[in-house]
Amino acid sequence: MALARALVNRPRALLLDEPLGALDLRLRKQLQIELKRIQQDIGITFVHVTHDQEEAMSMADTIAVMNGGRIEQAGSATDLYERPRTAFVANFLGVSNLVDARIGARENGHARVETHDGASLYVPSDRCNGADDVRVGVRPEKITLIPADQEPASGTNVLRGKVVVAAFLGVSIQYVIRAAGGEELTVFAQNLDGAEPESLGPGREVQLAWDPQHTFVVAKEGVA
């Protein structure tokens, strides 16, 4: 009813301040789609304030992530998720795996980065425009887990580690991997064949492999 009263006078913009915060998860997801449909039908700008990252990504054409009263980054959900510019944005929108590294040589559109534990990774050069001391990141669903004794595909980024946790989530299996450099990294493996998570269970030595195009770079905290 409140929404109908607000829309009847055809305002130029409508402010929605945490409109779904008090609803249960199932109803909240249903109303996310319904609100998006209403906005598209009537063509009015909705300014939507929310702390729910999934809600923001599913509903907004443009997202502004604020930190300490200022805009940290603004853009489409795809831009912010795939190419975050800061560690805050990377961790605010979903789960990120971040590793300390240093930018090295650039060639053929890619920059080589050396992680603090000596691994060499590659990242598109246009994502390396800041300081040389950085953190490189990759999203959990972009990673493929490979047993330590198998050869990864040519041209992929690879980190080595050991499985700490393997948890079956239904649509996916969530792995927590302790990398050689000490970081605990998260991997989401899609449940395509019904395999038991114990096939790569705790204690198993593995390799984390992913396409360099899925690597992003953020500034290292405390470094200008």
Task: Decide if 157 is inside a domain.
Answer: yes
Percent of the chain with pLDDT over 70: 96
86: confidence class by pLDDT, cuts 50, 70, 90: very high
Query: What are 161-217's pLDDT values in tens digits?
Result: 999 999 988 888 999 999 998 999 999 998 877 666 566 788 899 999 999 999 999
Same domain assignment for residues 214 and 140: yes
Sign of CA dihedral 3, 7, 16, 55: positive
Average pLDDT taken over every residue of the chain: 88
Task: Decide if 101 is inside a domain.
Answer: yes
Same domain assignment for residues 33 and 125: no
Same domain assignment for residues 153 and 209: yes
Same domain assignment for residues 111 and 32: no
Domain end among 92, 121, 150: 92
More confident residue, 181 or 6: 181
Where does residue 104 rank: exposed (0-12), middle (13-18), buried (19+ CB within 10 A)?
Answer: middle
Instruction: Render the burial of 74-96: b for 16+ CB within 10 Å, e for the rest.
Output: ebebeebbebbbbbbbbebbeeb
Averaging pLDDT over each range in 3-7, 84-88, 105-109, which range is the top one? 84-88
Give pLDDT, residue 195.
62
Domain end among 92, 113, 133: 92
Same domain assignment for residues 13 and 46: yes
Same domain assignment for residues 87 and 53: yes
End-to-end CA separation in angstroms for the chain: 50
Task: Decide if 36 is inside a domain.
Answer: yes
Same domain assignment for residues 106 and 179: yes
With beta carbons less than 8 A apart as the criterion, state whether 219 and 87 touch: yes
Which CATH number goes with the domain that contains 138?
2.40.50.100
223: confidence class by pLDDT, cuts 50, 70, 90: very low
Task: Decide if 167 is inside a domain.
Answer: yes
Please compute the mean of the pLDDT values over residues 4-15 and round it to a whole number. Answer: 83
Q: Return the minimum-mean-pLDDT range out of 29-33, 82-86, 140-144, 174-178.
A: 29-33
38: confidence class by pLDDT, cuts 50, 70, 90: confident
Please compute the mean of the pLDDT values over residues 17-32 and round it to a whole number. Answer: 84
Task: Decide if 224 is inside a domain.
Answer: no
> Which range of residues forms the domain containing residue 190?
97-219
Same domain assignment for residues 201 and 103: yes
Same domain assignment for residues 88 and 102: no
Three-state secondary structure call for residue 101: strand
Same domain assignment for residues 103 and 192: yes
CB atoms within 10 A of CB 224: 7
Which CATH number goes with the domain that contains 58?
3.40.50.300
Domain end among 92, 125, 143: 92
**Count of domains forming the chain:** 2
Give pLDDT, residue 197.
57
Same domain assignment for residues 69 and 148: no
Same domain assignment for residues 135 and 207: yes
